[in-house]
A = this chain, B = another copy of it.
Amino acid sequence: MALGTSERREAEVCVVGAGFAGLAAAKRLADAGHQVVVLEARDRVGGRTWNRTLDDGTVLSVGGTWLGVGQDRIFALCRELGCETYPQYERGQHIIRLDGTNHRYTGMIPRINPLAVVSLGLAFKRLGWMAQTLPLDAPWQAKNAKHLDARTLGAWISSRCNIPTATARQMAGAVMTTLFCSDPAEVSLLGALVLARGGGGFEYYADARNTETHLVEGGVPEVAARMAARLGDAVHLSTPVRQISQSASHVEIVSDRIVVRARHVIVATPPPLAGRIVYEPQLPAMHAHLLRRMTAGSIIRGITVYDEPFWRADGLSGMSAAPGSPISVSIDQTPRAGTPGILSSYAFGPQALAMAKLAPDERRDIWLRALAERFGPKALSPAGYLETDWTAEPWSLGGMIGVFAPGVLTISGHTLRQPVGRISWAGTERATAMHGLIEGAVRSGEQAADAVLAALPEPAAATA
C-alpha cells in the first residue's frame, strides 16, 4: 500500500462501511453535530441493497427490497428522507410445488397434506418455545446453551422425533435454507434460535406477510443514497479499509486512499470482511475467533422482467415456493404503476453454489424453466433477465443473516456487540432484534452510534 501518497483526514468518528448500518450510525452522529468520515469499499453506498439498471433503463432493486411489520426505524427514515413506500402486491394465490405438482393456496398455510402442515406448524412452535427460553441479549448464557450449540439445525430438522412427516421435514429444510442461505447442517441450533429469539420467531421471517409488506418508490437503495447525500463529502467510495490501529488517545484507519485519524471507529461491514482487516494491536483472541468463524450464506437472486405481470391475470400472486427446486422461492416485484411485470426469484445455500458452477446460459435456462413450471410458458421469455450472485460480491461474500457454525456462539458469541477500546461494531448480523434485515442494520448502527455518542464530548456548536 502506497501510504506515502494517501490523503490524511481527521474526524471524531470514522465509520467503515456505507451499508445501512454504517450510514445510520454516521447519520446519527452527524445529526448530533459530530464530525464523521465514512469509508466504503464499493463504488456505491447501500451495502447489500443495490439498484442495478438494465440496458433498457429499467431500475431493479437486487438486494434488500422489502420493508415489513414492526420495522419502525427504516419506515421512519423513509418518511424523514421523503422516500414513499407502497404495499406489496398480495392478491391472488400463491403456489407451492411439491413432487412435481403445483398447489395453489392463500394465506400462510398451503393446502397440502394436513398432517404435514400440522407437523410443520408444531415444529416451528417447538423451536419458538426453545428460543423463548434464551436470554435475549446473551443467548450463549442459556443454561442449555452448550447442548444447543453442539447440535445443528439440520440434525434437529431431520429427526423424525422432531418432525414426523417427510414432507414437513423437506419443507422445514427448505424454509431454513432460505432463511440462513445455508444448508441447515451448517447452522448451530443455538445460532438458529438466536434469529427466532430476536425477531419474533421463525414465523416472522418465514411469512412474507411480516417481512415483505412494502416496497420503496425508487427502491430501498434510494433511502441509502439520500442518507449519504446528507453526509456529503464525508462519504468516501472505492476506499477499502485495510488496517485499524489504536492507541490510548486515538485510532487510525488506513484505507487504500485515505488515512483517517479519529477518536472512535465503528466497523459496520459484514463480519467476515471485518475479520480481514488488520488490527494493531491484534483483536483479542475471542473477537478474532468470532470474526474468523462467522460466515455469510450463499444467495443468487434472479430478476425476470416481462411486459406485464401475466401471472396476475391467472389469479396468481407471483409468490411461490418449491422445496427441492434449485430456485426455491419467487415473489412479485412489479412497480406500483403495474408494468413492467417483475418477478424476483432465488437460489439459496448449496443450491446457489450449484447454480454458480454452471455456464451462464445453462443457469438461465434452468432458472426460467423453474419459473415456467409454476407460472406457465410465458415465464420462459422475459424481456429482461438479471442475476446477482451476492456470494461472489467481494464486499459482501454472501447473504444477510449471521450464520453461526456450531460451537461458536458459546465460545465467542459474547463479543458480538462488545467494543474493543475505540473500535465498535455494527451490522445486521450483530442486531439483537430484526437481525438479518435492513431494520436490524439500521438499529444496530444507531445503537453503536449512541454508545459512541455517550463517550464523546459535546460537539463544539452545542457547548458554545
Query: CA of A122 to CA of B394 in the docked complex: distance in angstroms?
Result: 47
Contact call B353/A408, Cβ cutoff below 8 A: no
Contact call A391/B154, Cβ cutoff below 8 A: no
Q: Which residues in B have their C-beta under 8 angstroms from that of A146?
A: 185
Min C-beta distance of A165 to chain B, whole Å? 19
| Integer count of this chain's copies in the complex | 2
Contact call A278/B394, Cβ cutoff below 8 A: yes
- When A150-B158, A151-B152, A155-B151 are in contact, do A392 and B282 touch as well, CB less than 8 Å? yes
- When A146-B185, A152-B150, A295-B293 are in contact, do A352 and B285 touch as well, CB less than 8 Å? yes
The residue of chain B having its C-beta at the shortest distance from the C-beta of A2 within the complex is B2
The residue of chain B having its C-beta at the shortest distance from the C-beta of A154 within the complex is B150
- Interface residue A288 (Cβ < 8 Å from any Cβ of B): yes
Q: Which residues in B have their C-beta under 8 angstroms from that of A286?
A: 353, 356-357
- Interface residue A149 (Cβ < 8 Å from any Cβ of B): yes
The residue of chain B having its C-beta at the shortest distance from the C-beta of A272 within the complex is B292
- Interface residue A117 (Cβ < 8 Å from any Cβ of B): no
Contact call B276/A183, Cβ cutoff below 8 A: no
Query: CA of A295 to CA of B407 in the docked complex: distance in angstroms?
Result: 13
Q: Which residues in B have their C-beta under 8 angstroms from that of A130?
A: none
Q: Which residues in B have their C-beta under 8 angstroms from that of A357?
A: 284-286
Query: CA of A356 to CA of B281 in the docked complex: distance in angstroms?
Result: 13
Query: CA of A391 to CA of B289 in the docked complex: distance in angstroms?
Result: 9
CB < 8 Å neighbour of A408 from B186, B289, B410, B412:
B186
Query: CA of A158 to CA of B282 in the docked complex: distance in angstroms?
Result: 34
- Interface residue A411 (Cβ < 8 Å from any Cβ of B): yes
Q: Which residues in B have their C-beta under 8 angstroms from that of A392?
A: 282, 285, 288
- Scan A177-193; emit 1 where CB is below 8 A from any B CB, else 0: 00000111111000000
- Interface residue A136 (Cβ < 8 Å from any Cβ of B): no
- Scan A440-462; emit 1 where CB is below 8 A from any B CB, else 0: 00000000000000000000000
- Interface residue A328 (Cβ < 8 Å from any Cβ of B): no
Contact call A406/B288, Cβ cutoff below 8 A: no
Interface residue ranges of A351-390 to B (CB < 8 Å)? 352-353, 356-357, 389
- Interface residue A350 (Cβ < 8 Å from any Cβ of B): yes
**Which residue among A282, A289, A407, A412 has the maximum number of chain B CB atoms within 10 Å of its CB?**
A407
Interface residue ranges of A189-212 to B (CB < 8 Å)? none
Min C-beta distance of A356 to chain B, whole Å? 4
Q: Which residues in B have their C-beta under 8 angstroms from that of A293?
A: 186, 295, 405
Contact call B407/A152, Cβ cutoff below 8 A: yes
- Interface residue A258 (Cβ < 8 Å from any Cβ of B): no
- When A282-B392, A293-B295, A406-B186 are in contact, do A412 and B353 touch as well, CB less than 8 Å? yes
- Interface residue A313 (Cβ < 8 Å from any Cβ of B): no
The residue of chain B having its C-beta at the shortest distance from the C-beta of A355 within the complex is B285
- Interface residue A333 (Cβ < 8 Å from any Cβ of B): no
- Interface residue A298 (Cβ < 8 Å from any Cβ of B): yes
- Interface residue A397 (Cβ < 8 Å from any Cβ of B): yes
- Interface residue A464 (Cβ < 8 Å from any Cβ of B): no
Interface residue ranges of A397-439 to B (CB < 8 Å)? 397, 405-408, 410-412
A-B contact pairs, 16 of them (CB 8 A): A1-B2, A2-B2, A150-B152, A151-B152, A152-B152, A184-B407, A186-B293, A186-B406, A187-B407, A272-B292, A285-B391, A286-B356, A286-B357, A288-B391, A292-B397, A293-B295
The residues of A with any CB-CB pair to B shorter than 8 Å are 1-2, 146-147, 149-152, 154-155, 158, 182-187, 272, 276, 278, 282, 284-286, 288-289, 292-293, 295, 298, 350, 352-353, 356-357, 389, 391-392, 394, 397, 405-408, 410-412
